[in-house]
Structure 1
Amino acid sequence: MNFNELLIACDPIDVTGSPEGELNGQIVHDSRQVGSNDVFVAIRGHKSDGHKFINDALGKGASVIIAEEPAPENTGTAIWIHVKDSRKVLMPLALASQGNPQESLVLVGITGTNGKTTVATLVYQVLTHLGYNASLLGTVSRRIGKSELPSKLTTADPVELAADLKDMVNAGSTHLVMEVSSHALDQHRVNGLRFDVAGFTNLTHDHLDYHGSIENYLNAKKTLFDQLEERATAVINSDDPSADVMIEDTKATVWEVSFNDDSGFRILSNTPAGLELDLDGTYISSTLSGVFNASNIAMAYLICLALGCNKNSVASALSEARGAAGRMEKVQIYSSISMPTVIVDYAHTPDALENVLKTLSAIKSGQHRIHVIFGCGGDRDKSKRPVMGGLAETYADLVTITSDNPRFEHPLAIIDDIKKGFNDPAKALIEPDRREAIRQAIENGDENTIILIAGKGHETYQEIRGERHDMDDRMMARSAMLNKSLNIKTRGEAN
């Protein structure tokens, strides 16, 4: 990247120094990572202000400073670029430094409180099934071409994201399907990406600890559609009350997902084995269950059509697609002993928990009872805790409140907040140790028990006081089921 490209990406208010020639350094926004000749972008964060560390960056050899403050009297040999909003210029800068790889990719972005991961995974699987070299970025998976890498954030930091896009192009990818979080939109992490298709799943109670209000949360999501160009397509779940606001200022063509009576979409069957759908005359069979997954499948279907895929080919691919890890994922072992049905789901918001519990209630037989095990994350939106407690009491026959990721909060304090939502708090079983809660539920359950382990889904860790400890709900459940099977067999042989 040369200085001219840098200045175009920055749209500066003022430039101090003589920018010319090529830039040899990296784009950096953490002063601890600055090296010789790097470009340091000072960002005002929620917890710290990068402007306080400009001198540190200069001391480490930064050749360019990009800041929201005018240049001081003496910047030495460094070039100082004064901008209105350094967050907004970080992604365009990062993209320019990587040769603007986004221009070689068809971009699909999906936002919403719940369903992002499932929709993104389905679209990715369809594209791959149809022969495209697609990449995927999201909460569960980070697939660059044929390589699978650890996923850190739903939507990555701009510098990392731009590097990922460059790697995708180098790996031969033509399409990128990515989840776009409200945090990323609020922090302008996808600023400069020209999405070809964007999807909106829904908007419900979540992240109010960060956004402050549901209105701010909605407006953050809305920016994805505000920035779409006329050539783009917005695929919207119009059954969601926020749909109209989401698209009121978009220039894109709008396609709607709806299962209202006047739409052409119908749920033909919803059973534990899966869904059968009629999407405006196209039949789709899926192993996913639940009304909420009908909407996710329909959105994935329309997104693929917006990308130019054949509808019959998409329907066939969706019939073979699997759901995302930790989303209504059934845990099974091979055993001759009858076991409870165990389902792990990422449901960590009131709406997601209600949807999963409603689905299980709708498809269970008369003999079944539902036992839900869940907690709420520490140092996060506290207002949703009693709401989720009330929903668990309403829809489940048994409730065990346990720890999720307590972080720096005391687990029992979080549990007390959840119990406030119960009409009868005495109905709640309390077991702060998540492993033990899972073990007890499986040990005491039988073939008529449906155990829902909610909140962590695909996660393989538990955050406690700044440390991540190994914890995978699926592995814990499988281990408890194996132990139960072994104990029953041992007792039988002893008799």
Structure 2
Amino acid sequence: MKIDTLIEICNPLHVTNKVDGELSMCAIDSRKVDQNGVFIAIPGTEVDGHIFIEDAINRGAKVIICEESYYTDQDVCIIEVEDSRKLAGPVAQAFAGYPAQKMKLIGVTGTNGKTTTATLVYQVLTALGKKTSLLGTVHKRILDKVMESKLTTADPVELASDMKQMAEAGSEYLVMEVSSHALHQYRVHGLTFEVAAFTNLSHDHLDYHHTLEEYAAAKKMLFDHLPASSTAVVNMDDDFGATMLKNCKAKVLPLSFDEEQAYVLENTADGLSVIIDGEKIVSQLVGKFNAYNLGQTFLICKALGLSDAEIANALSKAKGAAGRMEPVTAEGDLPLVIVDYAHTPDALQNVLSTLSAVKDASQKLTVVFGAGGDRDTTKRPEMAKVAEEFADKIFVTSDNPRTENPDLIIADILNGFEKLEKVTSITDRKEAIERAIDDASTNEIILIAGKGHEDYQEVNGQRHHFDDREIARECLTKKAGRST
């Protein structure tokens, strides 16, 4: 890229020392700057990128985009702008060759259901022969190639790089989970979504957003920037559904199970049967919350021009996302173990209420859960109240304590219980899972909640291999061996 092209994108306040030659790349991390690269200094939520300008120059940066006046006697161009964070996405897209413009983008936001809905859309489009990629919490997919995903929505430079690979692989569609953090931090700024969907909004991330209203305002940014040519698919049964549509210019496809548009025919342990816009959908997914995920998926695919019948047929075969109501099995007469990512009060209530509704009257329901460290502390006692309402036995344990003392996190959770008779606290998560399975009868359902697809546990800032599904499977196998 030439400097004049970059300056035009930036619309700067001031430019010092225009340089000649080809610019090689851009970075928001000074450690990743190449020779003749561009460093974008962003005021971060924890660290200000402006303090790394000198490091970027020493590593070969030819251009610095920043919000503050900066002097250097080296042959470096300083582009001073009003908001460097908003520019990171457009600049990264330009260096990558504008890959987002070569695909139809589908963005899914909300507290719960993002991963399942995005995964279902990916599975439906792929099943119908559409070349589709996926960016989300569980993983990234470039067509059928799976890669690790560290954030629900990556930073703008990584996002542009991923999109470039997807476009070069021939992707026609890209389905993305879009987090509130990403929206608030302008990580998707400048992208045009063909379809944007809102699943729901409930208690989460208040350590960052402070109030539900601020959290909702961040989600709403996705819909505020939709052009008239796009479509908004919105859950109107959620209290914040109408909020998302204020000032939205896009065509709206609403979803409501409170109206005649959609209703559940059957909800059992074997799956769901629902009607959406007059089309019957039979799915192996379980629970009313998954009825909404199916409805969102149906309307998103409908907005993309697919027929009702082919969407319904593809949904009947779709398995959804890993770590979402995922059964863990072993040979033998054993309790039913379910692993789920539920880590908010609302998500935990969705899963526990579903299991409570579909279980036999004689079955006991056990839950193993904790809460993440360095995150919203107010949801901890709320999760306890949900567990107490639905579960017969409760094991409170560690989740990802991060830099917090896990025992103090557990203490916060325990404060939410009215009575502790059916509650056992075990700090070690592996031990808690083992105890729950060892103590269970064969006619029992055990929900292990909070980590779902994650294959690590973060303790003292370090990630260690830890997979609820692996541990549960080992415990079940041992239990089966002892019973033979």
Q: Is the structural similarity TM-score above 0.5?
A: yes
Give the match for residue 287 of structure 2. 290
SS of the counterpart of 1:63?
A: strand
CA positional deviation for 1:46: 1.4
SS of the counterpart of 1:15?
A: strand
Give the match for residue 220 of structure 2. 222
CA positional deviation for 1:441: 1.1
Deviation readout 1:106-128 (Å, 9 max, x if unpaired): 00000000000000000000000
| Conserved? CA contact 1:16–1:71, under 8 Å | no
Q: In the alignment, which of 262, 266, 272 is matched to residue 269 of structure 1?
A: 266
CA positional deviation for 1:30: 1.4
Give the match for residue 318 of structure 1. 315
Say yes or no: does 1:411 pair with 2:406.
yes
CA positional deviation for 1:487: 1.3
Give the match for residue 493 of structure 1. none
Say yes or no: does 1:304 pair with 2:284.
no
Separation in structure 1 between the aligned mates of residue 416 and residue 304 of structure 2, nearest angstrom:
44
Give the match for residue 382 of structure 1. 377
1:146-185 aligned within 5 A: 146-185=144-183
SS of the counterpart of 1:246?
A: helix
CA positional deviation for 1:19: 4.8
SS of the counterpart of 2:447?
A: strand
Deviation readout 1:340-376 (Å, 9 max, x if unpaired): 1110000000100011111011111110111000000
| Conserved? CA contact 2:19–2:62, under 8 Å | no
1:45-60 aligned within 5 A: 45-60=44-59
Separation in structure 2 between the aligned mates of residue 53 and residue 469 of structure 1, nearest angstrom:
30
One-letter amino acid matched to 2:49: G
SS of the counterpart of 2:263?
A: strand
Separation in structure 1 between the aligned mates of residue 101 and residue 113 of structure 2, nearest angstrom:
27
Q: TM-score, normalized by length of structure 1?
A: 0.96
1:202-217 aligned within 5 A: 202-217=200-215
Give the match for residue 62 of structure 1. 61
| Conserved? CA contact 2:236–2:256, under 8 Å | yes
1:55-134 aligned within 5 A: 55-72=54-71, 74-134=72-132
What fraction of aligned residue pairs are identical, expressed as a percent?
Answer: 53
Higher mean displacement: 147-156 or 74-83: 74-83
Say yes or no: does 1:479 pair with 2:474.
yes
Give the match for residue 340 of structure 1. 335
Separation in structure 2 between the aligned mates of residue 362 and residue 342 of structure 1, nearest angstrom:
16
Give the match for residue 281 of structure 1. 278
Give the match for residue 16 of structure 1. 16
CA positional deviation for 1:21: 5.0
| Aligned residues: CA RMSD | 1.1
| Conserved? CA contact 1:285–1:319, under 8 Å | yes
Separation in structure 1 between the aligned mates of residue 468 and residue 9 of structure 2, nearest angstrom:
44
Q: In the alignment, which of 377, 401, 407 is matched to residue 396 of structure 2?
A: 401
Separation in structure 1 between the aligned mates of residue 372 and residue 362 of structure 2, nearest angstrom:
33
| Conserved? CA contact 2:19–2:76, under 8 Å | no
SS of the counterpart of 1:425?
A: coil
Deviation readout 1:83-133 (Å, 9 max, x if unpaired): 111110001000000110111100000000000000000000000000011
Separation in structure 2 between the aligned mates of residue 19 and residue 223 of structure 1, nearest angstrom:
36
Unpaired segments ≥5 residues, structure 2 = none
SS of the counterpart of 1:77?
A: coil
One-letter amino acid matched to 1:291: K
Say yes or no: does 1:465 pair with 2:464.
no
Q: In the alignment, which of 321, 328, 331 is matched to residue 328 of structure 2?
A: 331
Higher mean displacement: 347-356 or 35-44: 35-44
One-letter amino acid matched to 2:321: A
| Conserved? CA contact 1:386–1:419, under 8 Å | yes
Deviation readout 1:223-257 (Å, 9 max, x if unpaired): 00011111000000000000111110111011111
Distance 1:75 1:29, change over 3 A: farther
Deviation readout 1:363-422 (Å, 9 max, x if unpaired): 111101110000000111100000001111111111000110011111111110001110
Separation in structure 1 between the aligned mates of residue 436 and residue 155 of structure 2, nearest angstrom:
39
Distance 1:172 1:432, change over 3 A: same
Give the match for residue 242 of structure 2. 244
CA positional deviation for 1:9: 2.5
CA positional deviation for 1:32: 2.2
| Conserved? CA contact 2:348–2:386, under 8 Å | yes
CA positional deviation for 1:447: 2.5
Separation in structure 2 between the aligned mates of residue 32 and residue 416 of structure 1, nearest angstrom:
40
Separation in structure 2 between the aligned mates of residue 363 and residue 161 of structure 1, nearest angstrom:
41
CA positional deviation for 1:15: 1.4
Q: TM-score, normalized by length of structure 2?
A: 0.98
| Conserved? CA contact 1:71–1:81, under 8 Å | no
One-letter amino acid matched to 1:30: D
One-letter amino acid matched to 1:288: L
Deviation readout 1:158-206 (Å, 9 max, x if unpaired): 1111011110111111100010001110110001110000000000000
One-letter amino acid matched to 1:204: S
Separation in structure 1 between the aligned mates of residue 84 and residue 25 of structure 2, nearest angstrom:
16
1:349-388 aligned within 5 A: 349-388=344-383
Separation in structure 2 between the aligned mates of residue 167 and residue 5 of structure 1, nearest angstrom:
23
Higher mean displacement: 162-171 or 420-429: 420-429
Say yes or no: does 1:135 pair with 2:150.
no
Higher mean displacement: 231-240 or 47-56: 47-56
| Conserved? CA contact 2:199–2:293, under 8 Å | yes
Unpaired segments ≥5 residues, structure 1 = 490-495
SS of the counterpart of 2:476?
A: helix
Higher mean displacement: 51-60 or 190-199: 51-60
Separation in structure 1 between the aligned mates of residue 59 and residue 454 of structure 2, nearest angstrom:
37
| Conserved? CA contact 2:255–2:261, under 8 Å | no
CA positional deviation for 1:70: 2.6
Separation in structure 2 between the aligned mates of residue 369 and residue 134 of structure 1, nearest angstrom:
42
Alignment size in residue pairs: 484
Deviation readout 1:19-46 (Å, 9 max, x if unpaired): 55531x2201112222321101101111
CA positional deviation for 1:75: 4.6
CA positional deviation for 1:61: 2.2
| Conserved? CA contact 2:22–2:36, under 8 Å | no
1:421-460 aligned within 5 A: 421-460=416-455
CA positional deviation for 1:425: 3.0
CA positional deviation for 1:212: 1.7
Separation in structure 1 between the aligned mates of residue 153 and residue 217 of structure 2, nearest angstrom:
18
